[in-house]
Amino acid sequence: MSSPATSSGGVPAAPAVPDAAVLRADFPLLASRSADEPLIYLDSAATAQRPQAVIDAEVDYLLRANAAVHRGAHMLAADATELFEDARGTVAGFVGADADDLVWTSGATAGINLVAYAIGNATAGRGAPESSRYVLRTGDEIVVTESEHHANLIPWQELAARTGAVLRHIRVHDDGRLDLDAAAAVIGPRTRIVAFPHVSNVLGIVNPVDRIVALAREVGAVTMLDACQSAPHLALDLPALGVDFAVFSGHKMLGPNAIGGLYGRADALESLPPFLTGGSMITTVTLDDAAYLPPPQRFEAGTQPVSQAIGLAAAVRYLEGVGMPAVHAHERHLERRMRDGLREIPGIRMLGDAEGVDRVALVAFEVDGVHAHDAGQFLDSRGVAVRVGHHCAAPLHRRFGMTASVRASAALYTTDDDVDAFLDAVAGIRPFFGEV
Lowest-confidence region among 18-27, 28-37, 165-174, 279-288: 28-37
CA distances for 197 relative to 66, 152, 194, 251, angstroms: 36, 8, 10, 18
pLDDT tens for each residue of 219-263: 999 999 999 999 999 999 999 999 999 999 999 999 999 999 999
Give the mean pLDDT of 334-345: 98
Q: Are residues 362 and 278 in the same domain?
A: no
Give the mean pLDDT of 319-339: 97
What's the DSSP call for residue 221?
-
pLDDT tens for each residue of 65-124: 999 999 888 999 999 999 999 999 999 999 999 999 999 999 999 999 999 999 999 999
Q: Are residues 305 and 353 in the same domain?
A: no
Compute CA 143 distance to the chain's CA centroid, rounded to the nearest angstrom.
Answer: 19
Tell me if 24 is assigned to some domain.
Answer: yes
pLDDT tens for each residue of 391-435: 999 999 999 999 999 999 999 999 999 999 999 999 999 999 999
- Residue 10: is its pLDDT beyond 80? no
Where does residue 4 rank: exposed (0-12), middle (13-18), buried (19+ CB within 10 A)? exposed
What local confidence, expressed as pLDDT, does residue 337 receive? 98
What local confidence, expressed as pLDDT, does residue 101 receive? 98
Tell me if 233 is assigned to some domain.
Answer: yes
Q: Are residues 312 and 335 in the same domain?
A: no
**Any idea what the CATH number is for the domain that residue 36 is in?**
3.90.1150.10
Domain count, the chain: 2
The DSSP bridge pattern shows strands 260-264 and 405-409 to be unpaired
Terminal C-alpha separation, the chain: 53
Q: How far apart are CA 316 and CA 89, in angstroms?
A: 11
Tell me if 72 is assigned to some domain.
Answer: yes
pLDDT tens for each residue of 273-325: 999 999 999 999 999 999 999 999 999 999 999 999 999 999 999 999 999 99
What local confidence, expressed as pLDDT, does residue 1 receive? 35
Q: Are residues 33 and 61 in the same domain?
A: no
Q: Are residues 329 and 302 in the same domain?
A: no
What local confidence, expressed as pLDDT, does residue 146 receive? 98
Residues 350, 354, 355, 360: what is their CA dihedral angle, to the nearest 10 degrees? Answer: -80
More confident residue, 232 or 127: 232
197 in Cβ contact with 229 (< 8 Å): yes
CA distances for 222 relative to 142, 147, 186, 225, 405, angstroms: 9, 19, 15, 10, 33
What local confidence, expressed as pLDDT, does residue 13 receive? 60
- Residue 157: is its pLDDT beyond 60? yes
What local confidence, expressed as pLDDT, does residue 35 receive? 76
What local confidence, expressed as pLDDT, does residue 436 receive? 72
Tell me if 379 is assigned to some domain.
Answer: yes
234 in Cβ contact with 287 (< 8 Å): no
Contacts within 8 Å (CB) and 24+ apart, 64-67: 66/306, 66/307
Residues ≥6 apart with Cβ < 8 Å to 381: none
Tell me if 9 is assigned to some domain.
Answer: no
- Residue 181: is its pLDDT beyond 70? yes
Q: Are residues 270 and 396 in the same domain?
A: no
Q: What percent of the chain has pLDDT over 70?
A: 97
- From 319, 342, 371, the end of a domain falls on 319
**Any idea what the CATH number is for the domain that residue 97 is in?**
3.40.640.10
Provide the H-helix boundaries in 266-323: 266-270, 306-322
Compute CA 60 distance to the chain's CA centroid, rounded to the nearest angstrom.
Answer: 27
395 in Cβ contact with 149 (< 8 Å): no
- Residue 6: is its pLDDT beyond 80? no
Q: Are residues 298 and 342 in the same domain?
A: no
| Residues paired with 41 in a beta bridge | 385
Mean pLDDT value across the chain: 95
Q: Is 373 helix (H, G, I), strand (E, B) or coil?
A: helix
Q: Are residues 308 and 333 in the same domain?
A: no
- From 319, 344, 359, the end of a domain falls on 319
Measure the CA angle with vertex 378, ends 346 and 430; round to 5°. 25
Q: Are residues 344 and 285 in the same domain?
A: no
What local confidence, expressed as pLDDT, does residue 12 receive? 53
Give the mean pLDDT of 375-403: 98
Which of the residues are catalytic?
392
Query: 410: closest CA among 392, 428, 423?
Result: 423
290 in Cβ contact with 299 (< 8 Å): no
Q: Are residues 242 and 119 in the same domain?
A: yes
* pLDDT bucket at 358, cuts 50 / 70 / 90: very high
Range of the domain at 134: 57-319
Q: Are residues 403 and 415 in the same domain?
A: yes
Q: How far apart are CA 224 and CA 222, in angstroms?
A: 7
CA distances for 317 relative to 213, 216, 322, 385, angstroms: 29, 33, 9, 27
More confident residue, 10 or 42: 42
What's the DSSP call for residue 14?
P
- From 271, 286, 319, the end of a domain falls on 319
- Identify the H or E element spanning 93: helix 75-94
Q: Is 119 helix (H, G, I), strand (E, B) or coil?
A: helix
Lowest-confidence region among 124-128, 182-186, 226-230: 124-128
Q: Are residues 151 and 134 in the same domain?
A: yes
Task: Kindly provide the residue ranges of all beta strands, DSSP E only, lying in 265-375, ordered along the sequence.
Answer: 282-285, 290-292, 348-350, 362-367
